[in-house]
Amino acid sequence: MTNSQSQLKSVTANTSFSAVRVYDEGMARNALIDQDGQLVGLVDRDTPFFIDGSFSQACVKAKGALNKGANYIGYPCSPFGSMYYVQDKVLEPVTEFSDIPKVREAEELANDAIALLHQIRARKGSTIPSLPNEKVIN
């Protein structure tokens, strides 16, 4: 997955922020959401701005003064249950099964194991029997 389609936004007279709870990679975190329902992020980062500390501290930050004309990044999100949000994500197309990182890692591990088996066979004069379906994975 990749980050959602973010957009550059500017603070106007109509801009307002609210504190919300967001599930991010399995963890509940505090964040800000703008009047359009988008998570607020800093311009120099590629993720929403998560606030450390309590939800009360996030509420205080949400009510802080806004600098008119200041830029921020808006990240689309969706409600999750009655009290949480989740950031909308865009799925990367998978053109081949081996494009999936965990599959690629498993294939590399299998290839390394087969290469090691071939080295052992070469040292012992090929007395080790072949494995079923033994082949190098491309």
> Is residue 138 pLDDT above 70, yes or no?
no
What six digits make up the tokens of 124?
């012992």
pLDDT at 8: 94
- Across the chain, what does the average pLDDT equal? 84
> Which of 78, 65, 69 is CA-nearest to residue 20?
78
Domain boundaries, the chain: 7-87, 93-138
Alpha helices for the chain (secondary structure H): 55-62, 101-124
Total-model pTM: 0.62
Cβ atoms of 84 and 28 within 8 Å: the answer is yes
pLDDT in tens, 56-87: 999 999 998 899 999 999 999 999 988 899 98
In the chain, the percentage of residues whose pLDDT exceeds 70 is 82
What is the rounded distance in angstroms from the CA atom of residue 29 to the CA atom of residue 9? 23
